[in-house]
Structure 1
């Protein structure tokens, strides 16, 4: 589809949008259509034949399964295609995936700003009208904590010819109040 046709289609569709809620609903519908089309294309590639064409093997389409996916504009209900032998592993939206990964970065950003898991849950409910469990928030932040701990405990070189050191004072939440803390930074260059 060329840009001129796309702009004409967008102009036609925009006529029905009157409020922000209309825009969010339209965005969710567009996301749903795009993701479902991409998932169907993935299944076609996996099976090696188009829908309703002669089969090249014993594996065929086997309907759809329904899943709720949390995205930037709220929750969308997806129909994910299945194959009869259950060998299809979608890459765009993986099995058991319940949110688009951009949400993880938003969760981490809110957590880094000092919000508790319950405050993050309330923020997601208010912003996206989406029910995100405190357990999910904890899983996302715990995964990052593990990566940070791994990085902090890595083996360092014995000698660094150049070392830069600096300090920055940041506000952090500690025991329910905001205090100033000094963060010392050291950068060692070994080449």
Structure 2
């Protein structure tokens, strides 16, 4: 089922392939940020503006509150994204969409593994990521990703 309003908005905003890519990148960034906020809501047990639920939780137990956020740059299949990572006062929030310590979304790791399994060298993959996605990744990082699944890649390459 086609949405004519969405189609007209996309045609207004995107006049070239770069504009369409920027649109998708912006939508991905917005959806990740919204997902992280939803994860924080679930972790705390109340929504951002839900004062009644917050008050109930404060009277029932020791409360945990939002404690601002910080910006994190992650590499994705659409280039670099700036995501807003929420924090809580107790420091117990562990996001699932963008795990702590990660600098890449799993889709980029999957792409690297696929290219490596297809026979590309680490330097070829580095060049491909830089030219197509604008992601500058060191050969060491690419090697670390491919080494993690090297056995499966070898089986796939040597299949009959």
TM-score by length of 2: 0.82
More relative contact order in 1 or in 2 (CA 8 Å, sep 6+)? 2
Q: How far is 1:33 from its partner?
A: 0.6
Q: Aligned-residue CA RMSD in angstroms?
A: 2.3
Q: How far is 1:116 from its partner?
A: 1.9
Match of 2:81 in 1: 76
User: Which protein has the larger Cα radius of gyration, Structure 1 or Structure 2?
Assistant: 1
**1:69-112 deviations in Å (ceiling 9; x for gaps):** 21121111111111111111111221122222122222122212
- Find the partner of 1:43 among 40, 51, 66: 40
Tell me the secondary structure at the aligned position of residue 15 of structure 1: helix
TM-score by length of 1: 0.70
Q: Name the structure with the higher helix share.
A: 2
Distance 2:34 2:80 in 1: 18
Name which of structure 1's ranges 90-99 and 37-46 shifts more when overlaid on structure 2: 90-99
Aligned length: 150
Q: How does 1:15-164 map to 2 (within 5 A)?
A: 15-54=12-51, 55=54, 56-57=57-58, 58-145=63-150, 147-148=151-152
- Runs of 4+ aligned structure 1 residues displaced above 4 Å come to none
Gapped regions of structure 1 (runs ≥ 5): 153-169, 171-182, 186-191
Distance 1:111 1:74 in 2: 19
Q: Name the structure with the higher strand share.
A: 1
Q: How far is 1:60 from its partner?
A: 0.7
Distance 1:22 1:65 in 2: 27
Residues 19 and 44 (structure 1), Cα distance of their counterparts in 2 relative to 1, 3 Å cut: same
